Amino acid sequence: MWLIYDPFTMISLILAYIVGFTILLFAAGYLAPRVARKFTNKFSLQASMIIIGLIIIVAGFAGVGITSYLLASLFSVEDATGLITSIILMVLVLNIISYLVSPLTINIMYGAKRNAQLQELVNDVARKLGFSKPPKAVLVNGPPNAFAYGNFLSGKYVAVTTGLMEIATTDELKAIIGHELGHHRHKDNTIMLFMGLIPSLLYFMGVFLMRVGFISGYARAYANKRRGGEGGLLLVIVGVLAVALSFIVQVLVLAFSRLREYYADSAGAFATSSRSMQRALARIHLYYNTNRVAREVVASSKIKALFIYAFTEAYANPFYRHQPIDRDIRNIDVDKVVEELKKTRTEDISEFFSTHPPIPKRIRFLDTLVFHYMEAP
């Protein structure tokens, strides 16, 4: 089977990883901060989402188109179409199965339980955001966090952890619930599923091209030594470039995900107030910055992309970084923490490999909101 890597394919993959990561490090360390600043200064959140989304789609389909054209030029159109279709179907089937079974998996894995008190809060916020039918509210065990999940079969869920219920005030809880309902309203689960398919498709097509390149190279060289498998070498080179491109597109998908988090934050602010959303983010961030074990739980979670809080390190850490772990988070002056976070520098390359923006940036973004909240891309 072509998915079983031979030594030559492994060497080519290593080369593709080296090329991809070299480009990524340069892009994340030098280009991305400058581009991000220009986007922030020149484009609205909605315009930025449209632009990044279009770049992902165009880059992805261009990569797929080029590899498809190359296959069709070296083999028959029928063979090339069949090979490409099989790859697309494989990627689609794997992702759709994951999408369909994930709600059941999450419910079992986290021991999700319906909670009447939480459901009342969700109902209240859902009315504010214009939901005709509020999602199901479930309580799960864990450190302070929340996430939205579900599909058309299981229905929509908003999960809040026991830890968050303990440390957040009612207004802060409503802001966080508003954030999660924003993900549902904006159809982020479906949109991010589609966006994630593009780099996956490029990656598997790249690996496939490498395999076909080696096989066709051997066959051509054996049948005609004069040609020396040049067509096979071309396929391998394009395969390496396709894998490297999949890495770049994946970073763009992560950038798109961060924009969706800002968008969900605006829903949380609209449901309550910008200040309530800021306080909620600051309180959760403070908790994780004083609790190493809780941070490791988030970092190791398989569904951390769904969380309202996914840790992103920053070069300059807030003044409260070394506060005792057993400090009562509910009794702090959270407004002081919010103001301090606004001043926190967040120039960190790790941000560009994260699904979530750093909390200081999210808090600063909330200061820019002038409310006419509506559905957007």
DSSP conformational letter for 375:
-
3-state class percentages of the chain: helix first, strand second, coil last, to nearest 5? 70, 5, 25
Give the C-alpha separation, 73 to 225, whole Å. 21
Q: How many other β-carbons are positioned within 10 Å of the β-carbon of residue 243?
A: 25
Catalytic residue chosen out of the listed positions 180, 230, 313, 339: 180
Cα-flanking dihedrals φ and ψ of residue 31, to 5°? -75, -50
Give the C-alpha separation, 261 to 263, whole Å. 5
Contact between 135 and 125 (Cβ < 8 Å): no
180 is catalytic: yes
Give the C-alpha separation, 286 to 340, whole Å. 11
Give the C-alpha separation, 32 to 35, whole Å. 5
Structure tokens at 184: 């549902």
Q: Which residues are known catalytic residues?
A: 180
